[in-house]
Amino acid sequence: MSLNIPDTRQRELAQRLEHGQQIIATDVAAEFDVSIDTIRRDILSLEAAGKAERVRGGAVPLARPASPIHARLATAAPVDMGLVNLAITAIGSAQTLLIDGGVTTLALIAHLPDAADRFVITPSPWIAIACQERGIPVFLLGGALSPSGGIATGEETLGKVLNVAADIALLGACGIDSEFGLSSDIFEESQMKRAMQRSAQRTFIITDR
């Protein structure tokens, strides 16, 4: 079992708040298998430490004079934590990860255990930044940034992806079942995803359906 003490929980919660997620007391209580009171006290601590804004039912990240990036991250759509945990167990101890862009993969980085032992290769600047915040070494795949998905694409990038060998590829599903029709951007992206899939021993596609 993992250490379930105020310190650990609060660190985890603080991290989620940092990433713009909101804390729902009852959910988190269930997740950590403690009573709501305990989570309430955790939130009180976080508030005292200036790391959370307490609201009825839980806590939200405190508003901060946001730099552009943080603004974007703060407004991020709510992430399905169950999905994230599933993906994390799927990853296991794999060392070399090829990670696609997307809100779910982004949230995943924040909760990836054994950060020190990983190595991430990604075409997404968001993922790159998230990894750096956790001290995970990153190789950033260069290329023209696709406007829709925000990942690097292009001939050369494609070639590079095919040259790496990753243990696991984590792909977001968005863009595969394109709602936009098949614009050239989407085409570039899906081609990229396919290349990533080919370079990894195993592939997980993260989708909620």
Partner DNA sequence: CAATATTATGCTGTAATTTGCAGGATTTTG
Partner DNA sequence: CAAAATCCTGCAAATTACAGCATAATATTG
Binding region for its own copies (CB under 8 A)? 1-3, 5-8, 18-22, 24, 55-58, 60-61, 64-70, 72-73, 76, 106-107, 109-110, 113-117, 125-126, 128-133, 135, 137-145, 147, 150, 152, 157, 160
Cα 41 to Cα 44: distance, rounded to the nearest angstrom? 5
Minimum gap (Å) between residue 166 Cβ and its own copies: 15
Minimum gap (Å) between residue 179 Cβ and its own copies: 20
Using the rule CB under 7 A, is 36 a contact of DNA?
Answer: yes
Which range touches DNA (CB under 7 A), out of 14-22, 52-60, 148-156, 172-180?
A: 52-60
Minimum gap (Å) between residue 41 Cβ and DNA: 6
Q: Which of its own copies, DNA, none sits in contact with 65, Cβ below 5 to 8 A by type?
A: its own copies
Burial (CB count <10 Å: 0-12, 13-18, 19+), residue 189: buried
Strand partners, 172: 206
Smallest CA-to-CA distance from 172 within 103, 72, 73 is with 103
Out of 41, 70, 134, 202, the residue judged to bind DNA by CB under 7 A: 41
| DSSP element (H, E) containing 42 | helix 36-48
Half-sphere exposure of residue 77, counting CA atoms within 13 Å on the CB side? 6
How many C-beta atoms surround the C-beta of residue 173 within 10 A?
A: 15
Cα 143 to Cα 203: distance, rounded to the nearest angstrom? 22
Q: Which of DNA, its own copies, none sits in contact with 125, Cβ below 5 to 8 A by type?
A: its own copies
Out of 37, 114, 117, 156, the residue judged to bind DNA by CB under 7 A: 37
Cα 83 to Cα 154: distance, rounded to the nearest angstrom? 30
Residue ranges binding DNA (CB under 7 A): 4-7, 9, 25-26, 33-38, 40-42, 44, 54-58
